[in-house]
Amino acid sequence: MISDTAVCVVLDSKDNRILIQHADLDSNEYSLEIIENETSFHYKLPSFITRLAPKGYTARLIENKNDEIIINGENVSLVPSNQD
């Protein structure tokens, strides 16, 4: 079930991949998701992010990598969440 205070933002998409930020503002739960070929991978939002996208940071996919993205121009390794 999706909360009334949930906000999802598409951060980047390339070919068959989509990077999404999920935020539940009521429970303060935040995560990133990469969808590739109908398969979903969930990751923790890096702790250094203090302001949510789209205004707080930029993020881009890296070709052929599901556990690393570019945030504000820097490569960042993603930590899997427990949602899978």
Statement: residue 26 has pLDDT above 90: no
Task: Determine, yes or no, domain membership for 61.
Answer: yes
Residue 1 lies in a domain: no
84 against 66, higher pLDDT: 66
Q: Is 41 exposed, middle or buried (0-12, 13-18, 19+ CB in 10 A)?
A: middle
Q: Exposed (0-12), middle (13-18) or buried (19+): which is 66, by Cβ within 10 Å?
A: middle
Task: State what percent of residues in the chain have pLDDT above 90.
Answer: 74
pLDDT in the model for residue 83 = 55
**Domains: count for the chain:** 1
Rounded to an integer, the average pLDDT of 28-38 is: 93
Amino acid 72: pLDDT:
97
The stretch 49-78 carries a mean pLDDT of: 94
The pLDDT of residue 65 is above 70: yes
Task: Give the pTM.
Answer: 0.89
Asked if residue 83 is part of any domain, the answer here is no
**Greater confidence, 54 or 3?**
54
Domain assignment of residue 23, given as a range: 6-77
In a domain, 82, yes or no: no
In a domain, 84, yes or no: no
